[in-house]
Structure 1
Amino acid sequence: MSNRKPYVREMKRTWWKDHPFYRIYMVREATVLPLIFFTLCLTFGLGSLVVGEAAWNGWLSFMANPVVIAINIVALAGSLFHAQTFFSMMPQVMPIRIGGKLLDKKVIVLTQWAAVAVISAVILFLV
């Protein structure tokens, strides 16, 4: 039996900062943090709506806090960034063929953004 120690490569906590691909990946994954806060706020808002008018007014005043508004703006930006990276991957993951020809990647991405715009407009119209 040998007394040699196996080679263990050192892994720093900031390994992802060395390459632009990993930096963008980590930023994309970090967008979940403000989205969790946003989801919890909406959940508590629904709960306060069920409880009664006083709880609902308390939730509305909480949501009017400038810090909460700033976090929600960050959550919106993170959500849009997440959607953009997902939409840009879509043509590579699932190429679409029409009539035997491969559909252009830009068309697929723009179609997805158009669908987001139409759905958002319909929801804004309904609300």
Structure 2
Amino acid sequence: MSNRKPYVRPMNRTWWSKHPFYRFYMLREATVLPLILFTLFMLCGLASLVKGPVAWLEWQHFMQNPLVIAINIVALAGSLFHAATFFSMMPQVMPIKVAGKKVEPKMIITAQWGAVAVISLIVLVLV
């Protein structure tokens, strides 16, 4: 057995910031942070709805805070960014064939955004 120590390459905490691919990946993964806050706000709203009209009005007043509105806008932007990157990866991850021919990636991405638009319109009509 040798007494030599194996070489361990030093790795600092910001190793990912030196490569554009990893920066993009970290940005994409960071979109979950404002979404967590948005989800917590909605859960608090659900709890206040159960507690009664006074709690519901207090929650509505809380949601009108400019900081909460800013967090919700950032969460919306983050979810749209996450969706866009996911939709762009979809044709590569799961190629779709119709009648033995590969469907164009642009068509798959457009169909996904179309589904998002239709579902959003349905939700808007219901609300």
Identity of aligned residues (%): 70
Alignment deviations for residues 13-59 of structure 1 (CA, whole Å, 9 cap, x no partner): 11111111111100010010000000000001001001000000000
Letter in 2 for 1:25: Y
The residue number in structure 1 matching 2:109 is 109
Give the corresponding residue for 1:27.
27
Counterpart Cα distance in 1 of 2:96 and 2:14:
38
Gaps of 5+ in 1: none
Pairs aligned (count) = 127
* Contiguous gaps of at least 5 residues in structure 2: none
Match of 2:42 in 1: 42
Give the SS at the match of 1:83.
helix
Question: Runs in 1 of length 4+ with deviation above 6 angstroms?
Answer: none
Q: Which residue of 2 aligns with 1:126?
A: 126
Structure 2 length-normalised TM? 0.98
Once residues 81 and 11 of structure 1 are traced to their aligned partners in structure 2, the CA distance between those partners, rounded to angstroms, is 29
CA deviations 1:58-108 (Å, max 9, x no partner) are: 000000000000010000000000000110111011100011110000000
User: Does residue 100 of structure 1 match 2:100?
Assistant: yes
Code of the residue aligned with 1:109 in structure 2: it is I
The alignment's TM-score, normalised by the length of structure 1, stands at 0.98
